[in-house]
Every structure is written in structure tokens, then in C-alpha cells.
Structure 1
């Protein structure tokens, strides 16, 4: 199970780092071409979401890999799960229903990592 959790954490870290980097660096106008939801938020909020995704991605892997404060791994996973729940609410409010599926999958995987790393598969 430990290997499965590592694989899930690494896949999530890559996905969140890529999405976060895009949100943190691209201008709002460029993001709006593919992401309609950015119209509801300020540029600072979008950048904040991007930075949170990057920090969550780092927190999924580095603390456990370096064995420095490994409790940060399930905390990062919990934070990303909450972020995906809030994203699903935003997409539901905007009636962007296909995007909710992506949020549910990513949030569910993050929640699975959090539960397992807080529980029986902790470091």
C-alpha cells in the first residue's frame, strides 16, 4: 500500500504543480481563454490559488521523501482536497458540470492520501 500511496502522491504533485504554475504565472486574460471561472476572481486570488497548488504539490512529496516533518504530507493532501471541494462548488455555481468530475477525482485521491497517511500508513 505504501508504494500505491507514493504513486498517487507523485501523480497528484505533478498535476497540481503544473496547474498551479500555470495559474501563478499566466496573466488572467490568457487563463480566461480556457478557464471561464477566472472571470469570477481577481488576479491576486487566481495567483494565490496557483501558489497554494504549488505548495500542496511540494508538501505531498518532499516532507516524506526527505523525512523532515513528514506530518506535512497528509496536511498538504488535506489542503488540496479542501481546495478541490471549493473548486467543485465554484464550477457547480457556474454550471460547469464536467469540471466537477475532475475536482472530485483529484480531491478524492488527495483525501485518500490524507486519510491513509494520517492513519495506518503514516510515516
Structure 2
């Protein structure tokens, strides 16, 4: 279970470090080709979302790696599940109906929750 957690959490954290980092530093014009919804959300909210994603990625990896407090990893995985559920709603209410990636991320986050609870 420990190896499975590190594989799934590592992949999930890598995705969110990348995507969150882009949201934190790129302009809406640069984000638009990848994220059609960026024009419907104020830029400070996009930046905040990127920050939350980066912090969540750190929360998936750092606490279990240090062994100090394993529960933040579980909280981060739950947060990513909630985040992607909201992302699906945003995609479906807008003109962008591509939610396959979001469904995959919800699934990966749910598996991470399961693996994190097995570690506690």
C-alpha cells in the first residue's frame, strides 16, 4: 500500500504542481488555450486556485515524507476531490464540455484518499 500511495500521490502532486504553477504565473491569454474557463473567472481567483493546487500537492507529499503528521495528506486528497468536483460543474455550466481529465483526477484523488486512510 505504501508504494501504491507514493505512485498515485506523486503523479497527482506532479500534475497539480504543474497546473497550479501555471495558474499562478501565466496571463489569462497564455492560459486560455489550455483552460477555456479562464475568462469566466476573475484573475485573482485563478491565482488563488493555483496557489491552493500547489499547496495541496505539497500536502500530499511532504507530511508523509517527514512522518510528522500524516493527516494533512488525507486532507489534501479530500480537497482535490472537492476541487475537481467543482471543476466538473464549471466545465458543464460553460461551453467547455471536456471533463475526461477532471474525472480522471477525481478518481486519482479518491484512490489517494483510500491509500492515505490505509496508511493512518
Q: TM-score, normalised by structure 2?
A: 0.93
Which structure is higher in RCO with an 8 Å CA cutoff and minimum separation 6?
2
CA distance in structure 2 between the partners assigned to 1:116 and 1:3 by the alignment: 10
Report how many residues are paired.
Answer: 120
Q: Which runs of 4+ in 1 moved over 6 A?
A: none
Bigger drift between 55-64 and 28-37 goes to: 28-37
Identify the residue that residue 114 of structure 1 maps to in structure 2.
113
Q: For the aligned residues, what is the CA RMSD?
A: 1.2
| 1:1-123 alignment, distance < 5 Å | 1-98=1-98, 100-118=99-117, 121-123=118-120
Q: How far did residue 27 of structure 1 move? A: 1.4
Deviation per CA, 1:59-91: give whole Å up to 9, x if none: 111000011211100100110111111111111
Structure 2: gaps (5+ residues): none
Task: Please give the TM-score of this superposition, normalised by the length of structure 1.
Answer: 0.91
What do residues 8-40 of structure 1 show as CA deviations (whole Å, max 9, x unaligned)? 000100011000000011112221233210011
